[in-house]
A and B are shown apart, each in its own frame.
Chain A
Amino acid sequence: MKLYELTISHAAALLGRQELTSQELTLAVLERIHAVEDRVGAFITLNDELAMAQAEIADKTLSEGKGTALTGIPLAIKDLICTQGVRTTCASRILENFIPPYDATVIKKLKATGAVLVGKVNMDEFAMGSSTENSAFKITHNPWDLSRIPGGSSGGSAAAVAADMCLGSLGSDTGGSIRQPASHCGVVGMKPTYGRVSRFGLVAFASSLDQIGPIAKDTRDCALLMNAISGYDPQDSTSVPEPVPDYTGFLNGDIKGLVAGIPREYHASKGLDPEVAQAVNRAIQTLQDLGVRCVDVSLPHTEYAVAAYYVIAPCEASSNLARYDGVKYGFRDKTAGTLMEMYRNTRSKGFGSEVQRRIILGTYSLSAGYYDAYYGKASQVRTLIMDDFTKAFQQCDILISPVAPTPAFAIGDNTDDPLTMYLSDVFTLSANLAGIPGMSVPCGFSTKGLPIGLQLMGPHFSEGNLLKTAYHFEQTTDFHKKKAIL
């Protein structure tokens, strides 16, 4: 096994026993990145020198016997999480040269563990998209089939893990942006409960939906990353003061008698690819064989989720993105003669097409005369969607469904048709509307060899149950061990 293929837990064991140094591991990962980046295109900014310096410090900590699970582990960070002194672009021209003057809370936490941050990875501009094709800088290719998208918006985070260009990564999930790329790239991804992880230093897209979470090679690594990033933060007033358990402690827990709801509306969805349905049904059978009891449940407002989401998210985005005015940071159009021209030129040249489309959609939905019909109505439907989950969780502990209706599609297939792209988020965005945790775990491959993910969702703060279920599933399957050949 090559060093860059190691999981976090395996590497941490070797580092802890001083059978491996972080500098050896980091160098191997950097060499891997340089060998495959031409083909994958995962990184916006690479920090070779900084990473090696962090590895050197980590080795010192490890040699003193003071290492923890992430000390010396090379990780990649989605390029919308602020890193002090390291460019953070949001994959947008408007932040192309933005150097954050502070670290996001999750970065502070990772640095405190001694993790090595190899670089910033690609995404859809401002996290708006499901394919990473909306990046202003580059296309990221799915490591399993380079002609296909890696998913999005955290496409770089998922592709980098799948291609062994890091041992784990952070992404963000506003409507499926961690789970869907994890599913398409055959890796594990978790969107935590809203408020579980601080959003301080996360560039805001839709503040009531955004959540940072891990992408990893297996469930144990996902739990280790959750341990490091979770917790209340006084700098994010929406983070929740709920104690953080050791998530690895859940993995070996018993799943016999766990009740899994199978939401009938998801499984009967019109656009569901038969191969995805088959892989998910087999996974349900596997879980039943392990002692999970499956019951039929209904989430009756599912068909309205995409419509409600694509009002609420653009409304919040149009408001959040008002700050990009060319005054204090970011791109400014310097040809403008007046302040108004400066605002307009800066924003028109700085934002890409999808971002402008959502700003206009959101501004329209919030404008005088339309607010009640759009934002007001969607917020009421959001309540109904949340109530569906509350009722379902009276009958079951977790929900099992597909992550995405199809495996990864070809680059360029959906770029001119925003609504079709939006509809592909149908299974994931309800979790954001309800604030509940969800994760994707590999559960099969299509006949073309493309990975398929299984989605697990649970009530608020039930991450432990999701990780436990995923871990038991991994123990009897080997989908997560398969590697893309590059």
Chain B
Amino acid sequence: MKISKEDVIHVAHLARLELDEAAVDKFSHQIGTILDYVDTLNRLDTTGVSPTSHAISLTNAFREDEIRKQLDLELALSNAPERDEGTFLVPRVIG
């Protein structure tokens, strides 16, 4: 098994996901199978090959730092699960 149940639980925590036992079992098995397959990449010698993170060569897109119209407050808050006047509300952070 390429990825243990403990690994799955640890990574799920990093990704802020909570899995029940059945999901941990299923994911460790399925992701293990996928990672075994991904290991075929190791058959390739990639010494000295530079990595590609982007298929089109890009230069930085600069613009003048000027004030532009943004979403107005009401629109920005219009999808808030919970709000209070001009702010988003979340559960208490500091006790």
| Cβ–Cβ < 8 Å partners of B12 in chain A | 360
B38 touches A419 (CB 8 A): no
B93–A377 CB distance below 8 A = no
Interface residues of A in 357-413 (CB under 8 A from B): 357, 359-361, 363-364, 367, 374, 376-384, 386
Pairwise interchain contact B17-A356, C-beta atoms closer than 8 A: yes
Whether A386 lies near B81 (C-beta < 8 A) is no
Q: A307-B38, A334-B81, A336-B91 are in contact. Are A102 and B71 (CB under 8 A)?
A: yes
B55-A194 in contact (CB<8A): yes
The reply to whether A240 and B52 contact each other, CB–CB distance below 8 Å, is no
In the assembled complex, the Cα of A340 lies from the Cα of B90 at a distance in Å of: 10
> Is there contact, CB below 8 Å, between B17 and A344?
yes
Give Cα distance in the complex from A340 to B15, angstroms: 11
Contact indicator A344/B18 (Cβ below 8 Å) = yes
Interface contact A234-B63, CB-CB below 8 Å: yes
State whether the Cβ of A475 lies closer than 8 Å to any Cβ in chain B.
no
| CB-defined A-B contacts under 8 Å, sample of 6 | A304-B40, A304-B44, A337-B91, A360-B15, A363-B11, A377-B41
Q: Mark A234-267, 1 if CB is under 8 A from B, else 0.
A: 1001101000000000000000000000000000
For the complex, count residues of B whose C-beta is within 8 A of A: 51
A137 contacts the other chain (CB 8 A): no
Is the C-beta of A144 less than 8 angstroms from some C-beta in chain B? Answer: no
Q: Which B residues touch A208, using CB under 8 A?
A: 53-55
Contact across chains for A433 and B55 when beta carbons are under 8 A apart: yes
- In the complex, the answer to whether B52 meets A383 with C-beta atoms within 8 Å is yes
- B84 CB to closest chain A CB (Å) equals 13
Give, as a whole number of angstroms, the nearest-CB distance from B31 to chain A.
5
* 6 other A-B residue contacts (CB within 8 Å) besides A101-B75, A330-B79: A304-B44, A344-B18, A353-B23, A364-B3, A380-B50, A433-B55
- Contact residues of A with B, CB < 8 Å? 97-99, 101-102, 193-195, 208, 234, 237-238, 240, 301, 303-304, 306-308, 310-311, 318, 322, 325-332, 334, 336-345, 347-348, 351, 353, 356-357, 359-361, 363-364, 367, 374, 376-384, 386, 418-419, 422, 433-436, 460
Minimum CB–CB distance from B36 to chain A (whole Å) comes to: 9
Q: Are B78 and A101 in contact (CB under 8 A)?
A: yes
Within 8 A of A (CB), among B26-78: 27, 30-31, 33-35, 37-42, 44, 46, 49-56, 58, 60-61, 63, 71, 75-76, 78
- Cβ–Cβ contact B81 & A332, under 8 A: yes
Whether A381 lies near B41 (C-beta < 8 A) is: yes
Q: How far is the CA of A382 from the CA of B56 in the complex (A)?
A: 12
| Residues on the B chain within 8 Å of A307, using CB | 37-41
Q: Which residue of A lies closest to B50 (CB)?
A: A383
B27 cross-chain contacts in A, Cβ below 8 A: 356-357, 360
